[in-house]
Amino acid sequence: MKHTIPDESTYRQPPSEIYDLIMAKPVPMASVDDCGEWMLLLERDTFPTVAELAEPELRIAGIRINPNNFAQSRMITLAGMRLKDLNTLKEFEIKGLPENMRATNIQWNPSQNRIGFVNLKTDRADLYSIDIASHTATKINKIPLSIVLGGAYCWVDDTRLIYKAIIPDAVLQGMPLAPKGPVIQESLGIKTAARTYQDLIKSVYDEALFEHYTKSQLILHDDTRELKIGVPSIYRHFSVSPDKQFLLLQTIDKPFSYTVPVNGFPHTVTVTDLEGNVINTIAVNPSSEGVPIGFDDAPDFPRGFAWRNDEPATVTYIKALDGGHGKSESEWRDALVAFRIDLSGKDAPEDVLFKTKMRFQGVIWGDSTTAVFYEESYATRKFQMNHYNPATGMTACVFSRSSDDAYSDIGNPLTQKNEFGRQTLIIINGKELIMSAGGASDAGDMPLIQAFDITNGETRVLWRCEAPYYEYLVKMTDPQSLTFITARESQKEITNYFVHTTVKDEPVIQALTTFTSPYSLLEGVSRQKITYKRDDGINLSGDLYLPTGYNPERDGTLPVLIWAYPIEYKSAADASQVRGSRNTFTRPYYGSPVLWVTQGYAVLDQAEMPVVGENGNEPNDNFIPQLYLNAHAAIQKLAAMGVGDSTRVAVGGHSYGAFMCVNLLAHTNLFKAGIARSGAYNRTLTPFGFQGEERTYWEAPDVYNNMSPFSHADKIKAPLLLIHGDSDNNSGTFPLQSERLFSAIKGLGGTVRYVSLPFESHGYSAKENILHMLWETDQWLEKYVKNSPKEKI
């Protein structure tokens, strides 16, 4: 039975400074057309209420469904839109937008003269089209949309759209008062290991619910009419061929699985014409039950179906060449297979385009002689970029690095639309790709644009962000003249958009927006990226925030809040790299520890917590000792700077960060208190792997037990605040994890408080819940950290 505190069962609010920061209206987001002529400004929705979260919700097949409007529940939506002419910088209101708009799924049409979006109402979902010339929005559909499985619609061309509609006459029988019999599952000696999932199908009635709310009718809207395409099915995915003649469809088949979510259900892949007539059946794939679950494993059936962007109607898919077992001996892991589609219905011969030594990770098509594809191994952390010549079939490695090595990352190739309106590589001088890179370095992230020569691997910088700004590419509008749009911010300036051009060989920069910060309460807060070493020599870093007007010589040391999230590495050198930028603007959000800088704390956010495994060892083999090294180094750094009181330090984190937090309390005496949100604390409840751990419980029982703070609950002496959404949907972080840990610490005489937030998932949404969570955190820190005795625990 849960332990409750009746006299504290009403919602509370945090201090006014925290309340005002959380409730401040954020600046708009922006979407820019390909030519850089129009910007769509998007206003984010406010926090929903607990009453809204309490509306009907079905939790089936790994998804959460709003049965009233055939959409996923808890969708992030937009509350407002307006257009901005980037030539004149004039803004326009959009006529015809729905009242109380909750918009999602923004898509520009190929010519960029219309913008589509889906609007959610309480009882239906509708598709709208914005005509940019008239600044007017028009509702497209008559039959409500079905968007439970996502992928609600797509543009065929500038005027035609295809979308999924509900089946109006579909009838759902009520849930029987008593079942016809028990639910039975069986395994006949075949390995069918699966990760730990939530919200799975559990009964025959769940199956009926899933089918009712996911089955839909494809509709082609030709600017005047709604035309049915084929017959109703459960459409997992659909896409239009580059030549606009065919549809690539993935439809879900029965039997539905009780052990994996919807993306693992049996499915059929077909190509049809735009009337729904089947041209080719490409694959009939089974359930993913029994598919190997290692990070380098893959299904032993065709996967990753897509249209080839540089040809009219060619389907590609990935075929495992090693049976899907990433640790098996095999010269080749994957092949990319292609075949052309035509209206004759004849199966074209399959063509193996190329093979990969590691798992295939994607391809970007270019022209007749140039494409690039990627492959990667999680076990070795090797990441490789290859050049593929479609004309000759030649492949060659052009770049490789450790996937953990951010410093050597050359970035991602930029693309532009080809004659089919599909994104393909920008190629200049016949051999150079234009790359957008994060620019990670010892100085922090300094994004850049550079040319990459695929014949020799040489790079040349075309543009680079410069301090004191953090500035990154948003849209390349003209690669030939190097005209592009960026988003720029600094510690003192919130994000605004700029266009970069060249006039008479001189760079010219023009501001496109002039947003101002809504967070005046953070003006004067000191922020710096600090670096320090842990005892084994690995370099660490974190973002340190100090209160406005704070002077260490005058005010002395401050109570400290450290917030972190562990990450696994296979190299000490990679773990030592500086991550993030020292020049970004501080945006407080509901989960941010930075809020407590307004309450007189020194806050170390994003404190590096690397867990390194070298020389054949797995990172988790020494998880606990490395957590100690990381935390101890951070505390000693703040003490050496004269800003942090090493005897008054709290640690906190969310999800895997919460797991880290409780382990630090169980195995060290470094902290006065801990705040753990939505974590998992007993790894035996996730026995087939978790986070970066591939070994099962039966392969490494000592690792699972030693890493489980539940197993060491008797050692947790520092006060622990546990917070969890009672409807957590994340893999492995069941609310039971917090409930059982609370009971263990309580039974062992420890100091612990468990706050269960009604109707919340892994991330929190409702205004009342968020404000109360912040109040709980503030009270905990005030009582057990700021005002605690200064002697060590």
What does the alpha-carbon distance between residue 660 and residue 234 come to, in Å, rounded to a whole number? 40
Which pair of structure tokens corresponds to residue 539?
């370099």
Could you say which of 199, 310, 322, 728 is catalytic? 728
What does the alpha-carbon distance between residue 465 and residue 766 come to, in Å, rounded to a whole number? 37
Name the residue among 448, 493, 478, 513 with its Cα closest to residue 83. Answer: 513
What does the alpha-carbon distance between residue 792 and residue 647 come to, in Å, rounded to a whole number? 5
187 is catalytic: no
620, with CB counted inside 10 A (0-12, 13-18, 19+), is buried
Burial state string for 676-697 with b = 16 or more CB within 10 A and e = fewer than 16 = bbbbbbbbebbbbbbbbbbebb
Amino acid identity of residue 180, one-letter, is: K
What value, to the nearest 5°, has the Cα angle with vertex 788 and ends 787 and 792?
Answer: 145
655 is catalytic: yes
Strand ranges (E), 536-586: 539-546, 558-564, 567-569
Tokens 């489980």 correspond to what residue? Answer: 708
Cα torsion angle, 104, 106, 107, 108, sign = positive
List the beta bridge partners of residue 540.
Answer: 532
Could you say which of 436, 581, 655, 708 is catalytic? 655
Q: Which helix (H) or strand (E) holds 29?
A: strand 29-32
What does the alpha-carbon distance between residue 265 and residue 254 come to, in Å, rounded to a whole number? 8
632 is catalytic: no
Tokens 């500038």 correspond to what residue? Answer: 158
Q: Which residues contact 727 (CB under 8 A, 6 or more apart)?
A: 59, 735, 759, 760, 761
Give the number of C-alpha atoms closer than 13 A to the C-alpha of residue 522, restricted to the C-beta side: 24
The alpha-helical segments, DSSP class H, found in 622-724 are 623-640, 656-667, 701-707
Tell me how long the chain is: 793
Amino acid identity of residue 480, one-letter, is: Q
Catalytic (active-site) positions: 655, 728, 762
